[in-house]
Structure 1
Amino acid sequence: MRRIARLAAATALATTLAPVFAGPNLAFAQNAAKPQERMVVDARELVYDKDKNTVSAVGDVQILYQGRTIEADRVVYDRMSKRVVATGNARITESNGTVITGDRFNLTDDFRDGFIDSLRVVNTDKTRFSAPRAERTDGEVFVFDKGIYTACEPCAENPEKPPFWQVRAARIIHKKSEQMIYYEDARLEFAGIPIAYIPYMSGPDATVKRKTGFLSPKFINTSALGVGVGLPYFINLAPNYDVTLTPTYLSRQGLLGEVEWRHRFSNGSYNIRAAGIFQQDKDAFLKSPFGAGDDDFRGSIETAGKVFINPRWTFNWDIAGSTDRFFYKNYRIRSESITNGSYLQESTSSVGLNGQSANAWFDMRGYYFQPLSYLDWQKQQPVALPVVDYNKRLHKPSLIGGELSFTVNITHLSREAAAFQGIPNQDRYLLNIPATPTMAGYGLYDGCAVYQKDRCLIRGLAGNIARATAEVAWRRNFTDSFGQIWTPYASMRADIFSVNPNTTDYTNYHVRTIADATDDVFGRVMPAAGLMYRYPFVATTSWGTHILEPVAQIVARPNETNSMRVANEDAQSMVFDDTNLFEWNKFSGYDRVEGGTRANIGLRYSGTFGKDSYANLLFGQSYHLGGRNSYASGDLVNTGLQSGLDTRNSDYVARAQYQPFKGLLFQGGARFDESNWEAQRIDASASYTHKLFATTVGYSRYEPQPELGIPRRREGLSLSQSFSFAQYWSVRGSVLFDLDKYKYDRERYRDAFVANQLNPALYTAPVYPKTGPFQTAGLSAGLRYQDECTIFDVTYTQSYADRQAGAKDDTRTVMFRLELRTLGEISYSQNLGTSSSGDGVASN
C-alpha cells in the first residue's frame, strides 16, 4: 500500500504540479514537450496550502529537470514569489557531475539562481568549496561569502577536521563563463594554521586546460646571481600555439629574460626557447678561459621539434647554442640538449631524418657538440655530418632460410684541431706529483704537444674524416634430435676510409697535427664465418627447475688491416664483460672490426625455485686461435689494449643474479685476470624493496689502464635508502664514497693550477698528500610528503667541486618544492657556503 501511495503522489506531482515547479512555459504532462524540458518528480506525498498559496513535495523528494537533479526531504514552491525552497539533506547534482549540498536552498523556479545556506560544493575533479552562505546568479556565477576552497579529500575518520591545506577568503567568486575563480582577502592555511596572506588572487577553474595569465613564480639565490624571483606569464594565442615570457630579476646581475614559443600542428610540433642578460657584476665569475667574467651579454637559444611526414617517416631536430659554455649552469637555464658523463658535459645539437618499417630502419642526421667545461676546446670538437644508418632484416629468405641482414653506415667528421691526450706517467700519480702544466685547459700534459706513439693518444684527427661501411650477414638455428642447437653464421663487410688532415698548427695552445699530413684513401674487406653451439640440459627437482647450458662459439676471419691508419672515432669504448662474450664483433662501433680466428666458451645456468625465487649465472672465456689479435694491436687511441682480450687466453668474465624471495635481489659481474685471478673489474649490488622501505648497496672497482690514459684505480661504494615512516611521509638518502686511495687533494691541485695560469713564474710543483679512503663524492638526503592534493619536498645535496669545469668549492644545495593541486607549484633552491655550484663561478 505504501508503494502505491508513493507512486500516486509522484504521478500527481508530475501531472498537476510540474508546471508550477518549473514555470508557466513548461508543459510537462503534454506529449509535445521537448525531452530536455520535461520534469520528473518523485516524492512520498503532496501538500497543498491554499492560504499560503504554496505546494509542497514531502519525503524523499527527487526532481529531475534540464539535466539537474534536486534531492531534499521537503521542497516548497511559493506561487506568489515564484521561489523554490528545499530543506533537509538538500542536494543539487549538476549536469556535469558537480554536487552542491546545503542546509537550505532558496532558488528561482528554474533552479538556476538563488541563495544557499551552509553550502558545500564538490566538483568532478574533487575540488571543494564551502561557505556559510552563497549566492548563484545567472546560473553560472557563484559568490561564496567567507568561502573556503581546497583540493584535498576530507578526513574519513573526522570529516570536520581541516584539510591539509585550504584557501580561506572573505569572498570567493566563481565565474563559469570566464572559467575563473577570484579570491578576495585570502589566506593560505595548512592544517588550519594561516601561513600566508594574499589580498587578491585569481586562477582558472578545473575546466581550463590553457588560459592566459601568470604562472607560479620561481625563486633563486646564489652567491653569483644574488636573490632572484621570476614571474612567468603564459599567453594562450590559440589552441595549438602559445608563448611564455619569464622575466627574472637577480639582485646581483640584473634582469634575465626568457621566452618560450610552442606550436603544435596536424603532423608535428616544435618549440623555441631563448634567454639573455646583460650581466651587471662580472666579477662574480672567473675570467676566461675558466669562466665568462669578461662578457657583458650572455645568452642562449634552443629549438626542438618533430614532424611526421607520413606514418613511416619523421623529421626531427634539437638545436642549441649559447654565447659561452658556462651560461646554462651559471644562470640555471633548462636545456634538453645537455648530456652528462663522468668526465664531460656538453650540449649536443642534432638534425635528423628517420624512417622505419616492419623489417627496415633508416636514420640520417648531423651532430654539433658544444663543450661546457673549460678543459675542452671547441676547435677539437667534431662536426658529424652526415651520419647515415640503415638496417634491413629478412626472415626465412628462400633457399637459405634463417635470417639475412643488411647494414650500412656512412659517417663524415670534421674538426679544426687534433684532440690529443697525453699518456700519464704512472710514477707521478703514485707519488702524488702533478705533471708539468702547459695550456692544460685543453687536455695536454707531460709534453704531448706533437704526436708520439708511446706518449700520446689521439682522440680525434684534425681535418675531414669519412668512412662508408656495408655489411651483409646471415645466420640460422638448427636443432638436432638430441636437442643440441647449432647456429651457423656468415658475413661480408667492406669499408672505405678517406682521411684529409688539417695541417694548421695551433702553437699558441701547444696543439699540432700528426707529422703525416697527406690525404689518404684506403679500404678494408672483412669476410667472416662462424658457428655457435648450445646444448641446454633441463632438470626438475623437488626444490626447483634448472637449466644448464654449455655454449661454444668459433669465428674465423682474416687479419684486421690498417688499424693504425683508422681514425677511431666511434669504437673507443672497449669493455669486455659478460654482455659481449658471445658477440661476433666486440668493438662498440664501426671504425674497428675484429680480425683473426677466435673461440668463445661459456657456461650458463638458470634456475627457478618456487614462485618468486630464481638465479642465473654465466662464466666464460675467449681464446685467440689464429691470425693477428685486433685487441692487442691497438690504434691511435690504444683501443683494445688492457681490455682483457689482448692476450691469447682472455680474462675470465662472470655474472651472477639471485633473488631468494620477492623484493631481495643480489647481482654482480666481474672480470678476472686469466693468469692470477685478480679482479680487473667488479660491479656488484644488493637491493631490497618493501612496501615501507627500499635500500640498495652498490660497489664498483676498475683497475688502472695506463695505456688508455687511466693511471689510477677507480673504486666507489654507493648506499641509498628510502623509508615511508607514516602515511604520506617518506625520507630518502644516498651517499657515494670515493674509495680510490690515489686520489689527490683536489682543492689544492686546482688552486696551484689556476695560479700557474695567471702567473707561471710563481708556480712551484707541490707534493700532495693522500686523502683518506672514504671520501664523500656525493651526498643526498630528502624529506617528502605526498597525498592526493599536495607534494612537499625538501632535498639536500652535496657533491665534489667540478674542478675541470672551473668550480672551486664543493657544491651544497638545499631545494624546496611545494605543489598544491590546482593552485600551482613553487620551488626554491639555496646554495650553502661561499660559492655557487655553477661552472666558472668565482668564490667570494
Structure 2
Amino acid sequence: MVRKIILTGLLSGAVIIASPLATLSGAGMAYGQTSPLGKDINFSADKALYDSENKRVIVSGNVTLYQGTTVLNADKVTYDETSQEVRAVGKVTIRDDKGNILYMEETVLKDGLKEGFIRNVRLLFSDDAHLAAREGVRTGKRTILKDAAYTPCKTCNEDGKRKPLWQIRADEVTHDEEDKVIRYKNVILEIAGVPILYTPYFSHPDPTVHAASGFLNPEFGTSSELGLNVTIPYYFSLAPHRDLTLEPLLTSKEGLVLGGTYRQHTGNGQFSVSGSIANAIDSDNFLSSESGREIRGHIFSEGKFDLDNLKLIGDQWQWDYAARWVSDDTYLRRYYQDRSDVLKSHAKIENFTGRNYFSTGLYVFQGLDEEDSGGLTGQALPAFDLNIETTPGKWGNQFTLDASGASILRTAGIDTQRVSFKSAWKLPMKTQLGDFYTITASLRGDAYHVSDAALQDQPIYGGADGTYARVLPKLSVDWNLPFIKNSLTSQQIIEPLVSIIVAPNNKNSFDIPNEDSRNFEFDENNLFSHNRYNGYDRWEAGTRVNYGVRYSLYSGDTTIRTTIGQSFRFSSTETFPVGSGYEGKSSDFVGRLDVILGDYLDYVHRFRLDSSSFSLRRNELILSGGSKSIRVSARYLDLDREKTDLTNTELENRKELGLGLKYLVNPKWTLHGSWVQDILKNDTIYYDAGVLYKDECLEFGLSYEKRLTSDRDITPSSIFHFRLVLKNLG
C-alpha cells in the first residue's frame, strides 16, 4: 500500500522522491509549501517514505535535519503531521551553532526541534567537556537533565575503563543557551571517585562564555609570618570591556588582607588598578594605632593609550603610565612574596616616526631597602629622550642625533638638572681582503646645574653647587676580519676584532654628581663598547684600544661560541671603580664561552682574568642539561675583589652556588626543586621543592619554600603553598 502511494505521488509530482541523499522541501509537496518535516526543516536521507493514511513522513539511512543553525543526525526519523512531533532513533546527535553536541539513543522533539524529550543523553561541549544523564527535556533554548554528571576530563564508556579524574554529580542539571549558564541541584563533587563536597545549588558558565562572574580557583598556604592563609578570588564581569577581581587573603595571624584588581579597555587603550589594605601587626611606621595594629597596603596602576589626534604630526603617538606605591618597605615581601627593592612610577608620552623616537615624562622612585631614605631618593621631574637617525646613504653612511635631559629633584638632598646632545656620523666599509671597517665620528656635549650639593649622602658620587658644561669629541674605527671554514656538516669562524677610540683626556669632574652611572661593570658585553658607563653622568674619555678574538662552531645541533679580549688605555688618569677590572692602563681579560648541544646541554661560562697574574677575578658558570624527562641546572658565581682596596666603592666580594632540578615523571607529573648557598658565609640562602600535576581537566601543585634571610619584620620562614585548579570551575 505504501509503495503504491509513493508511485502515485511520484507520477503526480505531489509526494516525496525516494532517492539517496535527496533534499526535500515544500516546493514539490502535495500538502503545501512547507517541508514534509515541518516548517523551516529541510533534510537529506538515503530513503524517504510518506504514509498518507497516518500522515507520517519516515526517512532513514544517514538522516540529517536542518532547522536554522541546528543540525540533527540519526539512523531513522519519523515526522507526525498531526502532532507535529519528530521522533529520532539510533545514533541521534543534535549540533548547535556553538559547536555543542547532544548524543542520545532516542528523542521526541516538537516546534522545529526546539522542544521535546530525550533519553540516555550525553551533551558534548565545544571545549570537550561533557554532561551525561539518564533522561532529559529540551524546551526552547533550555536542556534539563535528570541524574546527570558533568566533567571536562577524558573518560572511556567501556566498563572497567578509565573514569573521570573529577566530576560533578547532580539530581538535575539545566543548560540555558540564552544566558549560557549550567545550573545544578543537589550537587556532589567527586575527585578520583571519592565524594568530597556537597552543595544544594551550584552554577558555572558554559564553554561559549569568554568571561562570567563567579569564584576563581582558591590558593592555600602557610608561612611563619602569616600562619595559615587562603586566597579566594571572586571575578565580576562588569561589561565586555571591563572587569573586577576581588582577592581577599585570609590569614590566621594577621587577619584579613583585602585586595583586588580592576581592568578596563577604553577603545584607544587599556588600564588596570590593583591594590590591597591590611590592619596588620608588627610594623610601626604607617598609621599606627593604640591597639598595636596599623594600616598597611599598596596600590598599583598602569595603562597605555594611543593618541590618534596627534598622528598628523608623526606616525604614532602614545602615552602610558605606571603608578606604584606601598605603605612601607617590607609589605609586598611579607604578603605577596614580591622581592622588589625599588618601585618605579612614570607618566610619559612617546612618538615613533620612521627611524626616529621621542619620549618625555615624569619618573618617580620609592626605595624599599633598609638604607633608603625617601628625602634622599632622586625623582626625574621631568626627563626626555630624542633619537633621530637618517636613512643610510649611497655608501651606507648615516647620521644620528641624540638628545637627553633630566631634572633630578629631592625633598632633602642634592638637585641636578642635565641636558645632553650627541651627534654622530657612521660609515661602514668592506675591503677586497674581506675585512670590515666602521668609522664613527661623534661630538657630545653636556650642561649641568647643581644645587644643594652639601646634602649629598654619598660623597663618592661627587657634586658641587654651580653650572657646568663639557664637550667630548671622539673618532673611532671598528675592525673585524672573519676567517670561515665550511665542511659538509659544520662551519667554523675565527674572527679577530679591534676597536680604536681616539678622544681627548677630558676627565670626569666630581663637581658633577653621578646620578645614573653608578652600576659600572666591565665584562664581555661591553668589551668593544665606545662608552662603558650605562648613563650620562660619567663618560669614558681618552684614547684606548679594545682587542679580542671570537670563535664560533656550528655543526648540526651543536653550537660553540667563545670570546676573549682586553682593553688598553694610553692614559690611566681616569678613575674607574676599584675592583671593577678596569683599573690602570691594561684592563683584566674578559671572556665568555657558550656551548649548546641540541636539547641536552646549555652551558655558559663568563670569566675575568687578572691582567698580570691571570688568576680568576670573576668566575660565573651557568649549566642546564639533561633529557626531556629530567633537567638539572647549576649556577656558580665568584666575584673576587679581595686583591684590591675596597675603599670608596660599593663593589663587594660574592661567592654563591645554586642548584636546580626538574623531573618530568610522566607527561602529567613534574617534580622540581632548587637550592642557593652563600659560600663565603657558609650559609644557605634559600631552597624549595614542589610537585605539579596537570592534565586536560585538573591542575594541582604543592610546594615548600625555606627562606633563611631576614629584613626587619621579614624573618627566616617556611612557606607551604597549595593550588588546585578544576577546569571550567573558576
TM-score by length of 1: 0.77
| 2:136 maps to 1:141 | no
> Which string of whole-angstrom CA distances, capped at 9 and with x for unpartnered residues, describes residues 215-247 of structure 1?
444556555555555554444443323444455
Matches of 1:18 and 1:379 in 2, distance apart?
90
Measured after TM superposition, the shift of residue 248 of structure 1 is: 5.1
What are the residue-to-residue correspondences of 1:368-387 with 2, within 5 Å?
368-387=364-383
Equivalence for 2:467: 521
> What letter is aligned with 1:586?
R
Q: 2:676 aligns with which of 729, 736, 744?
A: 736
Return the match for 1:346 from 337, 342, 346.
342
In structure 2, the residue matched to 1:395 is 391
User: 597-606 vs 235-244, which deviates more?
Assistant: 235-244
RMSD: 3.4
One-letter amino acid matched to 1:798? K
Is 2:713 the partner of 1:713? no
- Decide which of 615, 618, 640 is 2:560's aligned counterpart: 615
Q: Give, in whole Å, the separation in 1 of the partners of 2:605 and 2:514.
A: 31
Alignment of 1:123 with 2:125, yes or no, is yes
Deviations 1:521-567 (A, max 9, x none): 11111111121221111223466322111111211111133432221
- What is the identity, as a one-letter code, of the residue corresponding to 2:307? I
Aligned pair in 2 of structure 1 residues 60, 271: CA closer, same or farther (>3 Å)?
closer
**Aligned CA distance change for structure 1 residues 819 and 693 (closer, same or farther; 3 Å):** same
State the SS of the aligned residue for 1:351.
strand
Whether 2:549 is the aligned partner of 1:603: answer yes
Q: C-alpha deviations, 1:784-815, integer Å up to 9, x for none?
A: 11122222111222222233x4423x232111
> How far did residue 304 of structure 1 move?
1.4
Residue identity opposite 1:500 in structure 2: S
1:214-233 → structure 2 map (5 Å cutoff): 214-217=215-218, 219=220, 221-222=222-223, 224-225=225-226, 227=228, 231-233=232-234
| Structure 2 CA distance for aligned equivalents of residues 494 and 812 of structure 1 | 54
Whether 1:785 and 2:693 are equivalent positions in the alignment is yes
Q: Which runs of 5+ in 2 are unaligned?
A: 1-6, 11-15, 309-314
How many angstroms does 1:493 deviate by? 0.5
> In structure 2, which of residues 487, 491, 512 is the aligned counterpart of residue 566 of structure 1?
512
What is residue 104 of structure 1 aligned with on the other side? 106
Distance in 2 (alpha carbons) for counterparts of 1:734 and 1:515: 38
Structure-1 residue corresponding to 2:727: 821
Is residue 504–residue 513 contact of structure 1 (8 Å, CA) maintained in 2?
Answer: no
- 8 Å CA contact 1:470–1:495 kept in 2: the answer is yes
Letter of the 1:730 partner, please give it.
T
Q: Of 529, 533, 540, which residue of structure 1 is paired with 2:479?
A: 533
Task: Say whether 1:409 aligns with 2:404.
Answer: yes
Say if 2:330 and 2:714, in contact at 8 Å, map to a contact too. no
Q: Secondary structure at the match of 1:578?
A: coil
Flag the 1:94–1:514 CA change in 2: closer, same or farther, 3 A: closer
Name 1:39's counterpart in structure 2. 42
Rounded to whole Å, the distance in 1 between the matches of 2:357 and 2:242 is: 32
Task: Please name the residue that 1:154 is paired with.
Answer: 155
| Contact persistence 1:397–1:404 (CA under 8 A) | no
CA distance in 1, matches of 2:506, 2:335: 49
1:794 match: 702
Partner of 1:669: 606
Query: Are residues 232 and 656 of structure 1, via their aligned partners in 2, closer, same or farther at CA, if it must alter by over 3 Å?
Result: closer
Q: Is the 8 A contact 1:74 1:86 kept in 2?
A: yes
Deviation at 1:66, TM superposition (A): 2.3
- Whether the 8 Å contact between 2:698 and 2:724 is mirrored in structure 1 is yes
More displaced, 356-365 or 247-256? 247-256
CA distance 1:574–1:517, change in 2 (3 Å)? closer
Residue 807 of structure 1 pairs with residue 708 of structure 2 = no
Query: Structure 1 stretch 320-329 or stretch 465-474: which is displaced more?
Result: 320-329
* Residues 1:158 and 1:552: Cα distance change in structure 2 (over 3 Å): farther
AA in 1 matched with 2:24: A
Give the CA deviation at 1:117.
Answer: 0.9
Give me the whole-angstrom Cα distance separating, in 2, the residues matched to 1:189 and 1:785.
18
Partner of residue 75, structure 1: 77
Indicate the residue corresponding to 1:28 in structure 2. Answer: 35
CA deviation after TM superposition for structure 1 residue 586, in Å: 1.1
| Preserved contact between residue 224 and residue 717 of structure 2 (Cα < 8 Å) | no
Matches within 5 A, 1:8-27: 8-9=18-19, 14=24, 27=34
The equivalent of 2:632 in structure 1 is 695
Residue by residue over 1:711-749, the C-alpha shift from the partner in whole angstroms, topping out at 9 and shown as x without a partner, is 753112222221211231111122222212xx2xxxxxx
Kindly state the Cα deviation for residue 679 of structure 1 after the two structures are TM-superposed: 0.5
Give the letter for the 2:532 counterpart.
K
Answer yes or no: is 1:544 the counterpart of 2:540.
Answer: no
Paired position in structure 1 for 2:353: 357
Equivalent residues of 1:467, 1:496 under 8 A apart: yes
Q: CA deviation at 1:157?
A: 8.8
1:652 CA drift (Å): 0.8
- The aligned amino acid for 1:304 is E
Matching residue's letter, 1:682: N
Give the drift of 1:87.
1.4
Please give the per-residue CA displacement for 1:87-115, whole angstroms capped at 9, x wherever unaligned: 11111122332211111112115211111
Deviation of 1:598 after TM superposition, in Å, equals 0.3
**Partner SS state of residue 665, structure 2:** strand
In the alignment, the residues of structure 2 paired with residue 45 and residue 577 of structure 1 have an alpha-carbon distance, to the nearest angstrom, of: 83
Letter in 2 for 1:575: E
Hey, what's the Cα distance between the residues in 1 that align with 2:33 and 2:179? 30
1:381 CA drift (Å): 1.4
Which sections of structure 1, spanning at least 5 residues, go unmatched?
A: 418-461, 506-510, 635-639, 744-771, 825-844
Q: Is the 8 A contact 1:234 1:242 kept in 2?
A: yes
Mean Cα deviation higher: 151-160 or 468-477: 151-160
Paired residues of 2:235 and 2:245 also in contact (CA < 8 A): yes
Partner residue, 2:312: none
Aligned-pair CA distance for 1:671: 0.6
Alpha-carbon displacement from aligned partner over 1:425-465 (angstroms, at most 9, x marks no partner): xxxxxxxxxxxxxxxxxxxxxxxxxxxxxxxxxxxxx2211
Higher RCO structure, 1 or 2 (CA under 8 Å, sep 6+): 1
Report the counterpart of residue 652 of structure 1 in structure 2. Answer: 589
Is the contact between residue 43 and residue 62 of structure 1 (CA under 8 Å) also seen in structure 2? no
Map of 1:326 onto structure 2:
330
Map 1:170-319; keep pairs closer than 5 Å.
Answer: 170-217=171-218, 219=220, 221-222=222-223, 224-225=225-226, 227=228, 231-247=232-248, 250-279=251-280, 282=281, 285-288=282-285, 296-310=294-308, 312-319=316-323
Q: Distance in 2 between matches of 1:512 and 1:622?
A: 29
Q: 1:669–1:698: structure 2 CA closer, same or farther, 3 Å change rule?
A: same
1:762-803 per-position Cα deviation (integer Å, ceiling 9, x unaligned) = xxxxxxxxxx4xx32221222111122222111222222233
* 1:76/1:17 CA distance change after superposition, 3 Å: farther
Question: What is residue 666 of structure 2 aligned with on the other side?
Answer: 726
- Decide whether the 8 Å contact of 2:546 with 2:565 is kept in 1: yes
Q: Distance between the aligned counterparts of 1:617 and 1:696, measured in 2?
A: 21
CA deviation string 1:338-393 (max 9, x = no partner): 773xxxx1222111111122211112222222233433222221112112111121
Matched to 1:188, the amino acid is: L
Query: 1:59 deviation in Å?
Result: 3.0
Structure 2 distance, partners of 1:236, 1:9, is 53
Query: Partner amino acid for 2:418?
Result: R
